[in-house]
Every structure is written in structure tokens, then in C-alpha cells.
Amino acid sequence: MSILRIEAPDDEARLADWRHVHNVIVPPAALSLDDVRERVRRNRLEVAYVGDVLVGCTTVRPPAGDSATATVIARVLTEHRGQGFGEELYARGLEQARGLGAEVIETVVLAANEDGLRFARRHGFAEIERYVLPGETAEWIDLRLN
């Protein structure tokens, strides 16, 4: 297996790489670079490479307020799936969330992302809600780790 290098997006190139993976995997929620700059201030974002090749990214939304719930999202570009990268990214995100005090772990998957749904269910997540955001057509699924 290739060695995965995971880094915080702390410069414009890495922010653009994180944005690229996010926008390829969840096009209905495409983000601008300014959106990503804002997001990196409130969430833990990471970008993953094999050598210099971009393979994926993660988001960990920490628990907020009185909630002990964190959201962990691992994204791997289609051409790099099935090589264990999602496993490594997910495990790292889970560890970060728990380190931030999370007692409950959730994830959110675009309903059309069948690979993402299979991955979440294989890792013990169960669906808790399906919804379409106001003014949009894409269906989202919130899942909670059992």
C-alpha cells in the first residue's frame, strides 16, 4: 500500500486542493476558495496525498455549545478508492473528533454518493435523517455512529 501524507491546508495551494476534492465529490455543495478559508477557521480540515498526487480530504466539525456531537467526513477521489485511504482518513478524523471531546459521531453523505453511503454503513453508521436544503434539489443523509 502507498504511504498517505496528510496535511492541514495551511497555504493557498492546499486550500485549493481541499476545495477540489470537496467540489468533485459533493458538486451540489460546491465551495469557493473564500468559503474554504472561512471553513478552515471553524473546522479541522486536512488534505491527503500519495507523493504529490492528491487523493482526498477530511472535515471534522467539532462539538459546539452544549452538544457533544462531532461530524467526521472523509472524502477520497474515485480513482483512489479501494486502496485503504478512506480507512486511514476516517480513523484519523474519528481520533481528532474524540480528542475534541466528542461523545457522539455523525457524518453526512450526499444521497447520490453510493460509495460514501456504503463506506459509512460498513463503519457502523446508521441513517438518522434525509433532507433537501431549501431551494436545492440534492438529497442529503445524516448518519450517526452506533
Residues 102-129 have a mean pLDDT of: 96
Q: Pull the grid cell for residue 29.
A: 455543495
Contact yes or no for 90/76 (Cβ under 8 A): no
Which domain does 66 fall in, by range?
A: 5-145
- Distance (Å) of CA 119 to CA 10, 14, 31: 28, 25, 23
Q: How many CB atoms lie within 10 A of CB 73?
A: 23
Q: Pull the grid cell for residue 33.
A: 476558495
Answer yes or no: is pLDDT of 66 > 90. Answer: no
Number of folded domains that form the chain: 1
Q: What is the mean pLDDT of the chain?
A: 96
The pLDDT, as a whole number, for residue 40 is 97
The pLDDT, as a whole number, for residue 1 is 62
Residues 32-48 have a mean pLDDT of: 97
Enter the DSSP assignment of 22: H
The pLDDT, as a whole number, for residue 65 is 83
Instruction: List, for residues 80-89, the tens digit of each pLDDT value.
Output: 999 999 999 9
Q: Pull the grid cell for residue 91.
A: 480513523
Determine which helix (DSSP H) or strand (DSSP E) holds 129, and give its type and residue range: strand 125-132
Q: What pTM was estimated for this model as a whole?
A: 0.94
Answer yes or no: is pLDDT of 68 > 80. Answer: yes
CATH number for the domain spanning 39: value is 3.40.630.30
Contact yes or no for 69/56 (Cβ under 8 A): no
Q: Pull the grid cell for residue 23.
A: 467540489
The pLDDT > 90 percentage for the chain reads 96
Residues 48-77 have a mean pLDDT of: 96
Q: In one letter, which amino acid is 104?
A: V
